[in-house]
Amino acid sequence: MLFKNAYIENSSHLQDIRVHNGIFKEIGELLPHEGEEVTDLGGRLVLPPFIESHVHLDTCLTAGDPVWNMSGTLFEGIECWSRRKEKLDEADIRERVKKAVSMYASHGVQFIRTHVDVTDPALLAMKTMISLKEELHDVMDIQIVAFPQEGICSFPKGKELLKEAVEMGADAVGAIPHFEFTREYSVESVDYALKLAAEYDRLVDVHCDEIDDEASRGLETVAARALELGLFDKVTASHTTAMHSYNNAYVLKLMRLLKMSRINFVANPLVNTHLQGRADTYPKRRGVTRVKELMQAGINVSFGHDDIFDPWYPLGNGNLRDVVFMGLHVCQMMGYDDIMNSYRFITHNAAKTLHITDRYGVEKDKPASFVVMDAKDYYDALNRNATVFASYRNGLKM
Ligand code: FE2
- The full 3-state SS of 295-344, as one line of letters, equals HHCCCCEEECCECCCECCECCCCCCCHHHHHHHHHHCCCCCHHHHHCHHH
Q: How far is the CA of 306 from the centre of ligand 1 (A)?
A: 5
Q: How far is the CA of 19 from the centre of ligand 1 (A)?
A: 37
State the pLDDT at residue 216.
97
Q: How far is the CA of 146 from the centre of ligand 1 (A)?
A: 12
Task: Give the three-class secondary structure for 38.
Answer: strand
**What residues flank ion ligand 1 with Cβ within 5 A?**
306
Q: How far is the CA of 260 from the centre of ligand 1 (A)?
A: 25
State the pLDDT at residue 82.
86
Q: Which of 221, 149, 151, 222 is nearest to 181 (CA)?
A: 151
Q: What's the mean per-residue pLDDT of the chain?
A: 97
Q: How far is the CA of 211 from the centre of ligand 1 (A)?
A: 12
Question: pLDDT tens digits for 248-302?
Answer: 999 999 999 999 999 999 999 999 999 999 999 999 999 899 999 999 999 999 9
Q: Each residue of 268-290: b (16+ CB within 10 Å) or e?
A: bbbbbbbbbbeeeeeeebbbbbb
Report whether pLDDT(78) > 90.
Answer: no
Q: How far is the CA of 337 from the centre of ligand 1 (A)?
A: 28
Identify the band that residue 85 occupies on the pLDDT scale cut at 50, 70 and 90: confident
User: What residue spans of 122-211 are helical by DSSP H?
Assistant: 124-135, 158-168, 183-200
Identify the band that residue 86 occupies on the pLDDT scale cut at 50, 70 and 90: confident
State the pLDDT at residue 340.
98
pLDDT, mean of residues 136-151: 97
Question: pLDDT tens digits for 210-238?
Answer: 999 999 999 999 999 999 999 999 999 99
259-262 contacts at long range (C-beta below 8 A, 24 or more positions apart): 259/297, 259/298, 259/299, 260/223, 260/227, 261/223, 261/224, 261/226, 261/227, 261/232, 261/235, 262/226, 262/232, 262/233
pTM: 0.98
Q: How far is the CA of 216 from the centre of ligand 1 (A)?
A: 17
Domains of the chain are 2-48+362-397 (2.30.40.10), 50-359 (3.20.20.140)
Q: How far is the CA of 280 from the centre of ligand 1 (A)?
A: 22
Set 167, 188, 210, 220: catalytic member: 210
Q: How far is the CA of 55 from the centre of ligand 1 (A)?
A: 6
Q: How far is the CA of 282 from the centre of ligand 1 (A)?
A: 26
State the pLDDT at residue 162.
98
Q: In sequence order, what E strands does 29-92 have?
A: 38-47, 50-55
pLDDT, mean of residues 17-32: 97
Identify the band that residue 75 occupies on the pLDDT scale cut at 50, 70 and 90: confident
Distances (CA, A) of 346 to 47, 65, 282, 293, 396: 11, 30, 32, 18, 22
Report whether pLDDT(156) > 90.
Answer: yes
Whether 29 is a known active-site residue: answer no
Identify the band that residue 117 occupies on the pLDDT scale cut at 50, 70 and 90: very high
Q: How far is the CA of 54 from the centre of ligand 1 (A)?
A: 6
User: What residue spans of the chain are helical by DSSP H?
Assistant: 74-84, 90-106, 124-135, 158-168, 183-200, 218-228, 248-261, 269-275, 291-296, 321-330, 336-340, 348-354, 378-383
Separation between Cα atoms, residue 207 and residue 116, nearest integer Å: 12
Question: pLDDT tens digits for 289-328?
Answer: 999 999 999 999 999 999 999 999 999 999 999 999 999 9
Separation between Cα atoms, residue 49 and residue 328, nearest integer Å: 20
Task: Say what percent of the chain tops pLDDT 70.
Answer: 100
Q: How far is the CA of 340 from the centre of ligand 1 (A)?
A: 27
Question: pLDDT tens digits for 331-376?
Answer: 999 999 999 999 999 999 999 999 999 999 999 999 999 999 999 9
Separation between Cα atoms, residue 145 and residue 139, nearest integer Å: 19
State the pLDDT at residue 69.
96
Separation between Cα atoms, residue 48 and residue 393, nearest integer Å: 10
pLDDT, mean of residues 7-12: 97
